[in-house]
Amino acid sequence: MDSTNFIMRFFEWLMTFEPKALILSASAIGAGFAMIAGIGPGIGQGYAAGKGAEAVSRNQKTQRKSIFVMLLGAAVAETSGILALVVALILIFGNPLVDIEGNTLVLMASAIGAGISMIAGMGPGIGQGYAAGKGTEAVGKRPILQSQIVRTMLVGQAVAQTSGIFALVISLLMLFGNPLIGLEGTEIILMASALGAGLAMIAGIGPGIGQGYAAGKGAEAVGKRPKFQAQITRTMLLGQAVAQTTGIYALVIALVLLFANPLLRL
Amino acid sequence: MGVEGFGPRIVFHIGSIPVTETVTVTWLIMLVVLIFSILATRNLKREPKSFQLVVEQIVDVINGMTKQNMGERNSGWAPFVGTLLIFIGLSNVIGLFGFRPPTADLNTTMSLSITTFVLTQVFGVKSKGLGGYSKGFLEPIPFLLPLNIIGELANPISLGFRLFGNIVAGVIIMTLLYGALGSFTESLLGLAVPFLQAGVPAVLHIYFDLFAGLLQSFIFTMLTMVFVSGAME
């Protein structure tokens, strides 16, 4: 027993591998993490499909319109899954970190962090799926209002995507414009900052679900009172902006960790 | 941010300035829009015939969309809204013809979203006055001022990245798919006859280029209208 400290022994064990092998294996882990986001669209689209079936059972004549709205909404809910897939594919096929000269541990942490960040995609997936379901339900009840309902649903869904897009921004920053790699500092802090920035973005799950709920209720409300569409949409957007708050906190913390890390100066 | 490997190719240099595919494809789109506009506005008749009917339909749809989302008195925004819709729509769909969409470049999408951001601020100040407009940042309680400012600044970022992320996702997935199909047929036949590349990607092209492209151009335009009219009320 040369060292009883498990973490120290783990790092010593890591250092027995080549740097390139370490970065590649970290990319594999990151790609796996990114795909966890798939939980969200799965749940959301399932909900939308359920609402679609319900709408058709209630009124068979609306089948075509209900299915159209369901597919449209479900396709939007797929976005965060596709973005996660893209980050995973970049990590596997076009990894920019492999060619960068820099501290191996920091590069490893960046690859894993970029993957973890994408987990946030779960939220928008669930939320947008809920909105798609509510939109389908509303169109099933009053197919005449299809265009108004779909418009409110799409705007709400687009806003619900925001936290997933923040996660993508952080993820791409860590892969392509990582400021931590060139920094001087204790390597363990740099490494932990990259992981921390990724972890912070997971908060995006919350705003994604919440804003999706707002979008769904907005679509439902427009389906009941199309006259007040402007007011409904405005109230929905205001509430969604407030629901975005914690996601913006997460983005700020992640950006601070990457660009203006106070921990390095301590 | 240089997206090596998946980024736009540099076509040629003017002096020391690199000109990328993004710029040249944008020129192409400008040319298409210009020629279409010249053809569409030639020989306008009181009683429209075939081609003029289509053009009038497009103008009608854009006018109607603007009025419905921004209110009757803001119908003067229709030309701007229409330009955004047509330019982003064409940029996204041009991937079908084998070009790289200009919107798969962060420079294009961010300049579009910053345009929206500046318009939102300018027209917010114009219609409410500087005092009234800045008071909006102190609501619902003054304590939230820094958060309101960050939230306002986050809007153009998410607007630009939403478009960029969706389009570049399609570009990356299609590039990888073509590569994979190419090497698959080669190992299958031992010949470099990429017959699988002819039919298989069509479905994905329809989803990523046509469906997602048109949807995202619509979403960008809708959010622009909502932001601008929201700041003016």
- pLDDT one-digit tens code per residue, B128-157: 888 888 888 887 778 878 878 888 888 898
% pLDDT > 90, chain B? 27
B61, B70, B161: best mutation site toward chain A, by most A Cβ within 10 Å? B161
Residue carrying the six token digits 């399932």: A46
pLDDT, greater one: B147 or B220: B220
Backbone phi, psi, residue B201, to 5°: -75, -10
pLDDT recorded at residue B2: 38
Residue carrying the six token digits 């479905």: B203
Instruction: Note whether B71 contacts A230, CB cutoff 8 Å.
Output: yes
Q: Which residues of chain B lie closer than 8 angstroms to A91, CB-CB?
A: none
Separation of alpha carbons B67 and B73, rounded Å: 8
Which tens digits make up the pLDDT trace of A91-144?
A: 998 888 888 878 888 899 999 999 999 999 999 999 999 999 999 999 999 999
Of the listed ranges A228-232, B20-24, B139-143, B170-174, the least confidently predicted one is B139-143
Pairing of strands B17-20, B10-14: antiparallel
Instruction: Note whether A237 contacts B226, CB cutoff 8 Å.
Output: yes
From B167's Cα to the closest Cα of chain A, the distance in A is 10
Average pLDDT, chain B: 85
Domain boundaries in chain B?
Answer: 10-232
Instruction: Note whether A244 contacts B151, CB cutoff 8 Å.
Output: yes
Which tens digits make up the pLDDT trace of A49-77?
A: 999 999 999 988 888 889 999 999 999 99
Query: What is the helix (H) or strand (E) element at residue B119, kind and residue range?
Result: helix B106-135
Separation of alpha carbons A146 and A153, rounded Å: 10
Q: Which residues of chain A lie closer than 8 angstroms to B207, CB-CB?
A: 75
Size of interface A-B (CB pairs under 8 A): 91
Contact (Cβ atoms closer than 8 angstroms) between residue B175 and residue B129: no
User: Which of A76, A83, A241 is nearest residue B169 as measured by Cβ atoms?
Assistant: A83
Q: Which residues of chain A lie closer than 8 angstroms to B151, CB-CB?
A: 241, 244-245, 248
User: Which of A72, A151, A165 is nearest residue B161 as measured by Cβ atoms?
Assistant: A165
Q: How confident is the model at residue A13 (pLDDT cuts 50, 70, 90)?
A: confident
**Closest residue of chain B to A77, computed from CA coordinates:** B212
A80, A148, A171, A176: best mutation site toward chain B, by most B Cβ within 10 Å? A176
Which tens digits make up the pLDDT trace of A77-91?
A: 999 999 999 999 989
**Closest residue of chain B to A79, computed from CA coordinates:** B166
Instruction: Note whether B222 contacts A230, CB cutoff 8 Å.
Output: no
Q: Which residues of chain A lie closer than 8 angstroms to B166, CB-CB?
A: 79, 82
**Closest residue of chain A to B162, computed from CA coordinates:** A165
pLDDT recorded at residue B25: 93
Q: Which residues, in sequence order, are CB contacts of A24 under 8 Å at separation 6+?
A: A95, A98
CA angle, A163 as apex, B161 and B227 as ends, to 5°? 65
Q: Which residues, in sequence order, are CB contacts of A71 under 8 Å at separation 6+?
A: none
Separation of alpha carbons A185 and A180, rounded Å: 9
Q: Give me A95's structure tokens.
A: 């990894």
pLDDT recorded at residue B133: 86
Spatial CA neighbour of A170 closest among A63, A54, A248: A248
User: Which of A75, A159, A166 is nearest residue B211 as measured by Cβ atoms?
Assistant: A75
Which tens digits make up the pLDDT trace of A187-237?
A: 888 889 999 999 999 999 999 999 999 999 999 999 999 988 888 988 898
CATH of A17-260, one of 1.10.10.60, 3.40.50.720, 1.20.120.610, 1.20.120.420: 1.20.120.610
Instruction: Note whether A90 contacts B172, CB cutoff 8 Å.
Output: yes
pLDDT recorded at residue A212: 95
Alpha carbon B8 to chain centroid, angstroms: 17
pLDDT, greater one: B192 or A251: A251
Which tens digits make up the pLDDT trace of A28-37?
A: 999 999 999 9
Q: Which residues of chain A lie closer than 8 angstroms to B165, CB-CB?
A: 79, 83, 86, 165, 168
pLDDT recorded at residue A3: 61
Neighbour count for residue A195 (Cβ, 10 Å): 16
Instruction: Note whether A169 contacts B218, CB cutoff 8 Å.
Output: no
| The total number of residues written for chain A in this structure | 266
pLDDT recorded at residue A112: 94
Q: Which residues of chain A lie closer than 8 angstroms to B212, CB-CB?
A: 75
- The radius of gyration of chain B from alpha carbons, rounded to an integer in Å, stands at 22
From A61's Cα to the closest Cα of chain B, the distance in A is 26
Q: Which residues of chain B lie closer than 8 angstroms to A118, CB-CB?
A: none
pLDDT recorded at residue A142: 92
pLDDT of B3 > 60? The answer is no
Highest mean pLDDT among A40-44, A233-237, B192-196: A40-44
Q: Which residues of chain B lie closer than 8 angstroms to A72, CB-CB?
A: 215
Which tens digits make up the pLDDT trace of B33-77?
A: 999 999 888 878 887 778 888 889 999 999 988 988 888 888 889
Separation of alpha carbons A73 and A154, rounded Å: 8
Q: Which residues, in sequence order, are CB contacts of A44 under 8 Å at separation 6+?
A: A74, A77, A125, A126, A127, A128, A129, A130, A132, A133, A212
Separation of alpha carbons A242 and A223, rounded Å: 24
The conformation of residue B73, written as its DSSP 8-state character, comes to G
Q: Give me B83's structure tokens.
A: 């330009």
Neighbour count for residue A177 (Cβ, 10 Å): 13
For chain A, give the secondary structure using H, E and C.
Answer: CCCCCHHHHHHHHHCCCCHHHHHHHHHHHHHHHHHHHHHHHHHHHHHHHHHHHHHHHHCHHHHHHHHHHHHHHHHHHHHHHHHHHHHHHHHHHCCCCCCCCCCHHHHHHHHHHHHHHHHHHHHHHHHHHHHHHHHHHHHHHCHHHHHHHHHHHHHHHHHHCHHHHHHHHHHHHHHHCCCCCCCCCCHHHHHHHHHHHHHHHHHHHHHHHHHHHHHHHHHHHHHHCHHHHHHHHHHHHHHHHHHCHHHHHHHHHHHHHHHCCHHHHC
Domain boundaries in chain A?
Answer: 17-260
CA torsion through residues B35, B60, B219, B133, sign: positive
